Amino acid sequence: MRRQWWLVLGLAGLMWLFISLQPILTPFFVSMILAYLGDPLADRLEARGLSRRLSVSLVFLLLSVILLLALLLLVPVLGRQIGQLIESVPAMLNWLQDTLVPWIQSLTGQDLSTDIDALRQALMANWKETGTFAATLLAQVSRSGLALAAWVGNLALIPVVTFYLLLDWDRLTAKLHGSLPRQWEPAVVRLARECDEVLSAFLRGQLIVMLCLGIIYALGLTLLGLRFALLIGLLSGLVSIVPYLGVIVGISVAGVVAFFQFDSWLPLLGVGAVFAVGQLVESLVLQPKLLGDKIGLHPVAVIFAVLAGGQLFGFTGVLLALPVAAVIMVVLRYLHEHYKNSTLYDAHGIERQDEEAS
């Protein structure tokens, strides 16, 4: 009993420490995720005869080049498309008030003009605030040299911590393995192996699935000549971390943009075809090859995990929400297995198994 109380107190202390240090933990958690993603490639290079330091340097260089190219290629285009989207909002609101509202009123007999005017004023005010948000944030940060230094320092910490974690990843895991209590070692190693399978599938597999879907949607919408194609495609790929949410968001947004841009229902068929192709590729190729049945997180559990992580720990919680949820799922599965084999679940069944074994 005393040991259990010490365990509870230790977990409570770790939770308090995590909450207290949350503002400075984000670069370390980002580095941990990057090191975890890069470790298998470093191990493969090391198995081919390269030293660990050289293998890590090559992996680190590859990650840096990918990130730099993504920033150089995507950020300018996304910036232009976001600006164009903001400029298009007044025209969309005018169409809503002049076309859609009268049509709804003719069907329902409800006068929605007052509500739409209020909605229009609220949206326009928010869009104006959004347009000046970056400038306001930059001015605020610039006025505080300490805040600017802290932000730059946290950003600079990520590559440094990632490099050293990647360099010593195998050594750290080996030390943790060697420090386990011997009576717990088989169960912990089994859980760690299952968690690694789930996290590998989720972090590596799901990220690749999201990237592929974003590329498919963006290319397809671009071929249709749709405005904001890259923005909509990347947004749809990003939210596809929740099953079916990406295609729902993508079709809804792309359909609205296509209707306003072409003023016809026919391009909506092309939008539907693009997302249908994306779903077919995901179902027939990406999911079976990259994910399989290893994750098993229900869409509702994914949504709850992301919202709960953000509510409790901010941006750090959002980063850790899904990996932690995947690990919790593995632990719950392990506990459920032990429960089904316990006398608490079926005492008579356990007795019959003992009699048959004897």
Lowest mean pLDDT among 19-33, 146-160, 174-188, 262-276: 146-160
pLDDT of residue 23: 66
Mean pLDDT confidence for 202-224: 86
Can you give the pTM of this predicted structure? 0.66
User: Are 27 and 157 in contact, with CB atoms under 8 Å apart?
Assistant: yes
Supply the angle between the helices 22-47 and 52-95 in degrees, to the nearest 10. 130
CA 114 to chain centre: 39
**Gap between the Cα atoms of 213 and 233, Å rounded:** 8
User: Are 37 and 62 in contact, with CB atoms under 8 Å apart?
Assistant: no
**Gap between the Cα atoms of 185 and 64, Å rounded:** 37
**Gap between the Cα atoms of 184 and 43, Å rounded:** 27
Give pLDDT tens digits for 133-151: 444 544 544 455 555 566 6
pLDDT of residue 219: 92
Give pLDDT tens digits for 279-297: 888 888 887 776 655 556 6
Considering Cα of 4, then 177, then 198, then 157, what sign does the dihedral take? Answer: positive
pLDDT over 60 at 334, yes or no: yes
Mean pLDDT confidence for 314-341: 78
First to last CA, the chain: 33
Quote the mean pLDDT of the chain.
76
Percent of the chain past pLDDT 90, that is, above it, reads 3
Give pLDDT tens digits for 33-53: 888 888 888 888 888 888 888
- The DSSP result for 302-356, as a single string, is HHHHHHHHHHHHHHHHHHHHHHHHHHHHHHHHHHHHHHHTSHHHHHHHHHHHHHH
